Amino acid sequence: MIELSHIEKRFGDNVVLKDVSVDMAEGSVTALVGPSGGGKSTLLRCVNLLEIPTNGSVRIGEEALSFSPGGRVGWSDIQRLRRQTGMVFQNFQLFPHRTAIENVMEGLVTVLKWPAARARARALELLEKVGMAHKADAWPATLSGGQQQRVAIARALAPSPRVLLCDEPTSALDPELAEEVVDVLGRLAREGTTMMMATHDLRLASRVADKVVFLDGGVIVESGPPAKIFSRPERDRTKRFIASLNVAVDYEI
């Protein structure tokens, strides 16, 4: 279970998240959608404490932390919760001086202190899962954007996190390359990988997510299954947002 309770995030006087609560069951996929500046990426980053909430609490499995204005959280506590997560960034963030397989191995060897042979076997297994085993020894600069993002997904999965966090995983890709990433994330979802993703890609959200949370102005406007949110939204603000995108999305209902 992943539980975000009454999350508030302030940057000075700017309140970016206002009393946001989201629950996720193990094995489920939640998509955070909404306009730019609505708070979805900030909420995602609050899960693994890349952004420290001003108020509220975060629970991932048995690990939980509470936050309050002026309160301080120890680095060891942050690391303990953060190790429950894997993060996929918008712009891949691969190490340019490491091959694809070395990128996947890096955290296992340097952070978890795995022997190189064990880390290499795990990395190859994950590259196979994302369809990149044939590029194991390639440098990031020689890979397409879609290929780099698939390597980044393998790297995030390497330590077997409880939840995979994806921050706009397709937004830096053209439609054809984005489709590669959507296919990989869809396969992971079918295999029971718990995921939370911030995305503008309604195709990704509709095909992969069990639940969609629409955020605007730092609050949850509406949430529910993708088919309901994208085809039968209840709130006028949600209707305007979906209509403004002027795209068709496919559902498996």
Last residue of a domain, one of 133, 160, 187: 160
The parent domain of residue 123 ranges over 94-160
pTM for this predicted structure: 0.91
Residue 12 domain-assigned (yes or no): no
Residue 46 domain-assigned (yes or no): yes
Q: CA-to-CA distance for 17 and 52, rounded, in angstroms?
A: 12
pLDDT at res. 219 = 96
Do 191 and 98 belong together in one domain?
Answer: no
CB within 8 Å of 166: residues ≥ 6 apart? 44, 87, 88, 185, 195, 196, 197, 198, 199
pLDDT at res. 252 = 43
CATH number, domain containing residue 47: 3.40.50.300
User: How is 136-199 classified by DSSP, letter by letter?
Assistant: TT--GGGS-HHHHHHHHHHHHHTT--SEEEEESTTTTS-HHHHHHHHHHHHHHHHTT--EEEE-
Residue 227 and residue 197 in contact, taking contact as beta carbons nearer than 8 Å: no
Q: Per-residue pLDDT tens for 39-95?
A: 999 999 999 999 999 999 999 989 999 999 988 889 999 999 999 999 999 888 999
Q: Per-residue pLDDT tens for 4-19?
A: 999 999 998 899 999 9
Do 80 and 196 belong together in one domain?
Answer: yes
Do 122 and 141 belong together in one domain?
Answer: yes
Strand 29-33 relative to strand 211-216: parallel, antiparallel, unpaired? parallel
**Three-state DSSP class for 50?**
coil
CB within 8 Å of 249: residues ≥ 6 apart? 202, 203, 205, 206, 226, 230
pLDDT at res. 246 = 54
Do 168 and 253 belong together in one domain?
Answer: yes
DSSP 221: E
Residue 61 domain-assigned (yes or no): no
What is the total count of domains within the chain? 2
